[in-house]
Amino acid sequence: MRKLVLGFCFVFGSASVAMAQGKVAVKWDCAKATVAHNLEAGDQPGHVYSISQVKCTATSGEIAGIKQKEGVGTEFHEITGDADRFHGVFVETLANGDKITYKYDGSATIKAGLLEAASNKWLATSGTGSLKGIKALGSCKATGKPDGGALFDCSGDYTAAK
């Protein structure tokens, strides 16, 4: 069985409380997946289904004055050879304790069992505290790190109640 430990996170923004609008720009440093389960599909060599979970730390980014802090992504992958199609949920915690939940899907290339590059599209599905009712969407580009983690550069737009 081909052993793959993958994990990609895709995160983003937050907001404030009438209608605030703005741009989202955040960089994430994601560790190697702490949990990963891989199963060979059995229909052809290199066809694997995987579920994984990753933890990420924001290295820059804020929305409506709230610093982005950390998040956890839980995702499902279908890998065929060096191609990966994935989707997942990312729960972000901001510096003030508010949370935003995102759904995302994307594709990646893999080399020697590690992420080489990835891209995705994301959508905020809910928020807490001052971010309740947030609407946001955007995309991310990622590059793999030698330790199995990934660096993400994400951007998009948001609207939130003020």
pLDDT tens per residue, range 96-118: 999 999 999 999 999 998 999 99
Mean pLDDT (the chain, rounded): 88
Residue 1: the pLDDT is 35
Instruction: Report d(CA 41, CA 70) in Å as an integer.
Output: 33
**What residues have CB less than 8 Å from 122, skipping those under 6 apart?**
10, 11, 12, 90, 102, 103, 104, 136, 137, 138, 139, 140, 154, 156
Yes or no: domain 19-161 corresponds to CATH 2.40.50.140: no
Residue 20: the pLDDT is 78
Sequence ranges of the domains in the chain: 19-161
pLDDT above 90 coverage of the chain, percent: 80
